Amino acid sequence: MKEIGLNEDVEKDPLRLADYVELSSDDGRNKLYTCLAEELGQDKERKNSKAIKILSEIPINALWTTNFDTIIERTYENQERKLRALTVNKSILERSDGDFALLYKMHGSIEKDKKDRIVISRSDYDRFAQNKGGFQTMLQSDLISKHFLFLGFSFTDPDLHHILTITAETVRDPEYHHAPRHLAVMKRPSQAASAATKRQHELFLNLLQRSYGIDTIEVGDHKQVPGVLKAIKDYVFMDRILVSGSFPVDTVHNDRVERQRKRVEELSVSIGRLIAEKRDDRPRTLVSGFGLTVGLNTIAGNSGYHYQAGTPDPQRYQDIRPFPHGVVDISLPLTCSAGASAKEVAGAPLSREEVFTRHRQALIKGVGVGIFIGGWKKNDEGKAIEAPGVEEEYQLLCEAGIVPLPIGSSGGMAKRLWQRFKDEDYGQYHAFFNTDDMKSHYEALGKENPCLTPDEVMDCLRKILRGLEVASFRQLPQQTEEPSA
């Protein structure tokens, strides 16, 4: 500001100030760009990466930002998540192949854009529809078809305000019945703030809710934001349910084994169907390592329900990753990501057990709940014994904070894990099982003599899953109440 002879008392509009700097000399635009590059260095980008790291763990397929920095790109790269940054109209036409999340940088990027493509001055905003009309159209489309989480937005950006206003007019149309609700995380005024400031904040939140369909979660401090995102992530991951367990098909036959096999099969089919039931107007996703008997029957029940319900492309809701049972000890070059390219590194020999452990680690990623059925394997004598691999999956879930639900009445390792949860691991999940109803439903999963029928087990699981969803939202800060008129 000193270079152009102004101070903050004279010009308080940063957009207009950018206009003045740009017009002050022939290289005014270069000065603005250089200033941005210096202010948005890597050291300063790291300070808020904890929230972005959690965000990168949520399966979001599109992100929108008005920021110029590259913190989102760097965090996704560090998390080995694929991301494609879009900064100009032409790039919007380059649709994702499904493996990439799309990052719409509607105001440009200091790393990718030329200086004349950055939206920083009042004049740039005035020309936004002309220069970046593709972003405006795409954002309007997303706002009327997707749920948005607004994070770090003050809602003072002129472009966003204009697009929200147009979108609000669209969804007010009586013929439009399915407008999605959105969510914003906002900082509430401090206790020391004036009554007028607090009232203005209340009225503004009311405006967001009634005019734009944006509900609000308030935080007292920005340090609470990662906790909010963690609760949202837990809720989203409730959509993905791992079914773990096994029962060998060629064990020594006797009446007890046959009864146990039949129960495991019936429970597996029923659980597959339960997972296919709609939650918030869409089915959950079944995650399976295709364990013997359990995997086959779970997928059969899941697919059967989807086809009966007429679900389009039901495979979208199935993440099936069969274990590599034919593998022996291996020693192969490993490929690891290094920026945009890949390089081979010498790999140490991997035992069969190590391969299976890595497979299990990949299997539970992005899962919110793990259901355990049976859990048997065949020993050298052809008899069914408890499967240690199922216990390893249980342990991995606990280490990741993912809720395990062993059906103790299905026998095998699941029975032992049901008891272990009660005796050892309940405290870790107390926030989810702190009501009498949730405790009672869990107890019922292990009930024997007589066991619950598969339908009764499904009723308990259905109530537990709903309780887990409710409990995950208890971790959020209290939402604002609608202010009085």
Domain membership flag for residue 431: yes
Q: What is the pLDDT of residue 65?
A: 93
Q: Quick one: 261 and 226 in the same domain? A: no
Q: What is the pLDDT of residue 128?
A: 85
Q: What is the pLDDT of residue 330?
A: 59
Domain containing residue 267: 238-473
Q: What is the pLDDT of residue 483?
A: 32
| Listed residues 209, 236, 263: the one ending a domain | 236
Q: Quick one: 213 and 337 in the same domain? A: no
Using 50 as the pLDDT threshold, list the residues of the chain that sit under it.
43, 45, 337-346, 479-485
Q: What is the pLDDT of residue 196?
A: 96
Q: What is the pLDDT of residue 345?
A: 45
Q: What is the pLDDT of residue 413?
A: 97
Q: Quick one: 375 and 408 in the same domain? A: yes
pLDDT tens per residue across span 451-484: 999 999 999 999 999 999 888 777 665 543 333 3
Q: Quick one: 201 and 312 in the same domain? A: no
Q: Quick one: 299 and 421 in the same domain? A: yes
Instruction: Give the 3-state secondary structure of the chain.
Output: CHHHCCCCCCCCCHHHHHHHHHHCCCCHHHHHHHHHHHHCCHHHHHHHHHHHHHHHHCCCCEEEECCCCCHHHHHHHHCCCCEEEECCHHHHCCCCCCCCEEEEECCCCCCCCCHHHCCCCHHHHHCHHHHCHHHHHHHHHHHCCCCCEEECCCCCCHHHHHHHHHHHHHHCCCCCCCCCCEEEEEECCCCCCCHHHHHHHHHHHHHHHHHHCEEEEEECCHHHHHHHHHHHHHHHHCCEEEEEEECCCCCCCCHHHHHHHHHHHHHHHHHHHHHHCEECCEECEEEECCCCCHHHHHHHHHHHHHHHHCCCCHHHHEEECCCCCCCCCECCCEEEEECCEEEEECCCCECHHHHHHHHHHHHHCCCCEEEEEECEEECCCCCEEECHHHHHHHHHHHHHCCEEEECHHHCHHHHHHHHHHHHHHHHHHCCCCCCHHHHHHHHHCCCCCCCCCHHHHHHHHHHHHHHHHHHHHHCCCCECCCCCC
Q: What is the pLDDT of residue 343?
A: 41
Domain count, the chain: 2
pLDDT tens per residue across span 287-313: 999 989 999 999 999 999 999 999 988
